Amino acid sequence: MTNTTDLPDLCIRIEHLVEEYISATRAAAQAALNRAFATGATATVRPSRSTTPGPTSSRSRTGARRAADEIGALSERLYEAVCRTPGETMTVIAPAVGATARELNRPMMRLKQAGRIRSVGTRHATRYFPMAPGAQRASA
């Protein structure tokens, strides 16, 4: 590029450079739109359901069922963790058990149905308490 001191010539060069930039940007945007609409007719975009970070086991991805003895062992570990830290949420209890909160859903249901644990609250604010060994569960 030559060094010019002529103001009108400099203005013309700047305008030409801006026009080239705009046309290149327009072409790139048009190509992106063409690609998006070409693939949009055949494929649908599905939002990811996984919002909680954390380890996922290969079993959860394959959809295989857990064995009853595995759920039973997990239930016992969960019960011991609730006894150690009564009144905590599942997100606090899960790392102590060594599982995700999602994996503890079924074992927690079993413990509640057996009357060994009671829960207070709803959704993410649910807190879990151990029941006294002789206490019966109140019918709701």
**pLDDT tens, position by position, 105-114:** 999 999 999 9
The model's pTM is: 0.52
The matching CATH number, chosen from 3.40.50.2300, 3.40.30.10, 1.10.10.10, 3.90.700.10, for 67-130 is 1.10.10.10
- Domain-wise residue ranges, the chain: 67-130
**pLDDT tens, position by position, 60-71:** 566 788 888 888
| CB distance 89 to 127 below 8 Å | yes
Q: Is residue 62 classed as helix, strand or coil in its secondary structure?
A: helix
CA distance 57 to 103: 9
